[in-house]
Amino acid sequence: MSIPAGKLPNRCATARPRGGPTIKKDLNDAADAVEKASNSRVFVATARTGFAVSGVLHVLIGVIAIQLAFGESKDADKGGAMSQLSAQPAGSVLLWVGAAACLALGLWQLSEVVFGYRELEKKKKLGRKLSAAGQGAVFFALAFWFASYAVGKRKESSESSSGTSAKIMEMPGGSVILLLVGVGISVTGVVFVIRGIMRSFAKVLSLPASRPLRRGTLVLGVVGYVAKGASLALVGVLVIVTTLQSDPEKSTGLDGALKAVREQPYGVYLLTAVGIGLGCYGLYMIAKSRFVKMK
C-alpha cells in the first residue's frame, strides 16, 4: 500500500524532546512528593516532638542555671541537661526518643530548604531557607548529642568546648576562625533578642483562640527569646575575649558564660534571671510543638 506524497508521518515533529518544561515538571512532581511525605501524620508528630524535646532541655538548663546561681556545681548547658535526663528512670529510652525526634525535625527543616517556600518571592524565600538551614543544623547536632549520650560516648561539656577551641586555635588562621565564630554567635544572640522584642517568632505559629493561652504563649516567647539571645551573646563574647587573650582553654561554651555571669556584681540575681528566661524559652518551645505551622 502506497502512501500519498505529502502524507508521510513526520516523526521528528511528533517526538517531544525531553528538557525545559518537562524537567521543571519532574522537579515540581518530586517536590510535591517530598512535601507529601514530610506532611505525613507520623512524620509531623515526630518532628513536633523535636520542638518539645528541645523545650525540655532548655527548661532543665534554666533549672541548672538557677541552681548554679546558688552554689551548686553543675554543667549549665545541653550536656548537663542530657546528663539529668540520662539519670532518670528509662533515661536511655528518653535519650533515643530525643535523638529520633530531633533527627525528624532536622529532616523536616532540610525539606523546607530544598523544596519549601515555592510561593514566596526570591528575597523572602532566601531568608526563610537560610533560617530553616540554620535550625536544621541545630536539630541535627541535637540528634547527634542525644545519640552520643544514649550510647555512653560523652565528655564533660566544658572540656569538650575548650578542647575544640584549642584545636581550632592550633590550625592555620585558627584565631581568625574563632573570632568569626564568636562574632557569629553574638550576632545570632542579637537576632534572638530582636525576634523576641518584635514578636516576629509568632509568624510561624497558629495561636489558639483562647486569649489567656495566646497571651501566655507570646509572653513566654518574648521572655524566652530575649534570655536565649542574651545567653548566646555572652557565649560569643566569651569566645572573642578568650581568643584575643590566646587562652582557648577558657572558652567553655554556655556553661562557662553563665559561670562568668555568676562572678559579676549581683551575679546571683542576673544568673537567676537568665535561668528563668531560659526556662521560659523551653516552655515556649513546648508550646511551639503544638502551635507551629507545619504545612
Mean pLDDT of 244-256: 65
Identify the pLDDT of residue 284.
93
Identify the pLDDT of residue 37.
53
pLDDT-wise least confident of 154-158, 162-166, 281-285: 154-158
pLDDT tens per residue across span 207-229? 888 888 889 999 999 999 999 99
CB 68 within 8 Å of CB 262: yes
Q: Can you tell me the distance from the alpha carbon of 59 to that of 53, in angstroms, rounded to the nearest whole number?
A: 10
Cα 220 to the chain's mean position, in Å? 18
pLDDT tens per residue across span 14-68? 445 555 566 555 545 555 555 555 556 777 888 888 899 999 999 988 888 888 8
Contacts made by residues 193-197, CB under 8 angstroms, sequence distance 24+: 193/225, 193/226, 193/229, 193/230, 193/233, 194/229, 195/225, 195/229, 196/221, 196/222, 196/223, 196/224, 196/225, 196/226, 196/228, 196/229, 197/222, 197/226
Question: Between 184 and 253, whose confidence is greater?
Answer: 184
pLDDT-wise least confident of 94-108, 131-145, 154-168, 202-216: 154-168
Mean pLDDT of 197-205: 89
Question: What number of residues does the chain have?
Answer: 295
pLDDT over 60 at 162, yes or no: no
The angle subtended at Cα 152 by Cα 148 and Cα 153, nearest 5°, is 55
CB 160 within 8 Å of CB 79: yes
Q: Can you tell me the distance from the alpha carbon of 279 to that of 192, in angstroms, rounded to the nearest whole number?
A: 15
